[in-house]
Amino acid sequence: MTCPQGQPLPPGRPCEQAHAPRRSPSFLVQSARHARPIARLCGLVPQRLAARPAARRPAPLRRQDSAPPGRHPAVRPQPRAPQRVRAALETGECDVALVPVAACAAHPEWEVVPEVGIGCRGPVHSVLLVSAVPLPQIERIYLDAASRTSVVLVQLLLRAQGISPECVHAPHREGAGLVRGTHAALVIGDAAMALHDRFPHVFDLGAMWLAQTGLPFVFAVWAARPGLLTPAHVTALQDARAYGLKHAEELAHAFREQQLQAGLPARDLLSDNAYANYLRRAIRYGLSTKEREGVVEFLSRATAAGLLTIPGHDPEDPVHIRFAGGAAPEALVAARRPRPPLAADELLARAAAGGRLDLAEGIFLYEHADLMALGAAADARRAALHPEGVVTYIIDRNVNYTNVCVTRCKFCNFTPRPAAAAATS
């Protein structure tokens, strides 16, 4: 891995490019909420309006302002073309990035920042399938490859309705110009918001997903290379989101002015108020339980349909996303490595010899092993550990601390001593 400057990047070492002023070689900053210094991480965000509140970079702040602590944020996001953000995180060019959620499936080592995402619950207005004909008549779709998540989503939604048109990739922002006859286009990002009145049929993918699943949809999340995120970094990104939403009108106005300065005609743009409403009402920047359910549902459906491939993932296993502070990346990576088909006899022999079984193997035995064979393996392991031949089996744990022993059978773990009272304690 290398930094943007071409220097080698050791594993776990944050990229220092753009982290500190030229006059200071240090990339350590002190947070007002965290006593120890923390590494200032290099972050990348796609150049889209929806990403701006999640990656707001505040100016120096007064004490009463609600924003990331300190004058030097723990994460400094830099804008980048959407199609380059994921590649930068994969190669180590940056430390943390706002990436499409589909990209996380192939990278179990990435840590996802909790509580911050870019999604919707219903119409999103910026991820559209536009067409001159109704859905059942569409024969070809031009896909915008700038968003892998949206490309997978549109195919999932159409397949659920029994529609499987030909899919052809088109250059970013050029798909709408190719719509004619039975040829439709997936249009994403800022350009999509001005297309609602320009085509006879406009299908909002956020609304379609909610109708099919009843769940929110998450398009992008903050993901980081393993071992870099601290609680201070997570807090900084969460606070930046809150600060950005507080200044939605300011962000909307700045976005429209930049588009005008870039040469886009005013007729192709919405008003400042429309852009602000998009940020405040259409886009959801949280990642609560429902949003997480939506992420898992999307990834599960996509892998089952063959639209996403997770290296080493067993189709019978659930799909997981690792959030910052979760399990060690080594365990997640190992869980996704290819493994041979499970066999009950081999698993029982290993367990009887003292070998450990993982959760998936234990469930497999529960569902497929013969009960007598399972008991024989357990007894063989017991005999190896306690060769003296004296053992008490707990035959039923459906007891509580108010039970009264009346049999003194010596099989129950609540058997009282001979001199004890009848009631157990």
Q: What is the pLDDT along the chain (425 residues), one digit of tens a residue?
A: 444 444 444 444 444 443 333 322 222 333 333 334 456 788 888 889 999 998 775 433 333 334 444 344 577 788 888 878 989 999 989 999 999 999 988 887 899 998 899 999 999 999 999 999 999 999 999 998 778 899 999 999 999 999 999 999 998 888 999 999 999 999 998 889 988 889 999 999 999 999 999 999 999 999 999 888 888 888 888 888 988 889 999 999 999 999 999 998 888 899 999 999 999 999 999 998 899 999 999 999 999 999 988 777 777 777 777 888 654 445 444 544 445 678 899 999 999 999 988 877 888 888 888 999 999 998 899 888 888 766 655 555 554 444 455 455 555 555 555 554 444 44
| Max CA separation in the chain (angstroms) | 94
Q: What is the pLDDT of residue 386?
A: 80
C-alpha 225 chain-centroid distance: 14
The structure tokens listed for 137 are 């008549």
Sorted by sequence, the CB contacts under 8 Å of residue 334 that are 6+ apart come out as none
**Three-class secondary structure of residue 44 per DSSP:** strand
Report CA-CA distances (Å) from 136 to 139, 183, 195, 206, 248: 8, 12, 21, 19, 38
Query: What pTM was estimated for this model as a whole?
Result: 0.66
For residue 291, the model assigns a pLDDT of 93
Distance CA 73, CA 369 (A): 55
Q: Which residues are CB-contacts of 18 (< 8 A; sequence separation ≥ 6)?
A: 42, 76, 78
Among the listed residues 384, 378, 386, 335, the one whose alpha carbon sits nearest the alpha carbon of residue 360: 335
Helix (H, G, I), strand (E, B) or coil at 236: helix
Contact 76, 42 (CB under 8 A): yes
| Closest residue by Cα to residue 295 from 117, 151, 54, 88 | 117
CA geometry: angle 122, 126, 131, nearest 5 deg: 95
Q: In whole angstroms, what is the distance from residue 36 CA to residue 91 CA?
A: 29
pLDDT at 412: 54
Q: What is the pLDDT of residue 403?
A: 45
Q: Would you say 131 and 199 are in contact if contact means Cβ atoms under 8 Å apart?
A: yes
Q: List 207's β-bridge partners, or say none.
A: none
Distances (CA, A) of 328 to 110, 204, 322, 323, 419: 11, 38, 9, 10, 50
Report H helices in 199-264: 205-213, 231-246, 248-261
CB count within 10 Å of CB 142 equals 22
Closest-CA residue to 282 (of 223, 216, 335):
216
Angstrom distance (rounded) from CA 100 to CA 83: 10
pLDDT score for 408: 53
- DSSP code, position 404: B
- Residues ≥6 apart with Cβ < 8 Å to 331: none
Element (H, E) at 46: strand 41-46
Going by C-alpha positions, the residue among 230, 236, 270, 239 that lies closest to residue 253 is 270
CA-based nearest residue to 150, from 106, 103, 205: 205
Q: What is the pLDDT of residue 235?
A: 87
Q: Which two tokens stand for residue 303?
A: 């892998």
Instruction: Identify the pLDDT of residue 405.
Output: 52
Tokens 């397949």 belong to 159
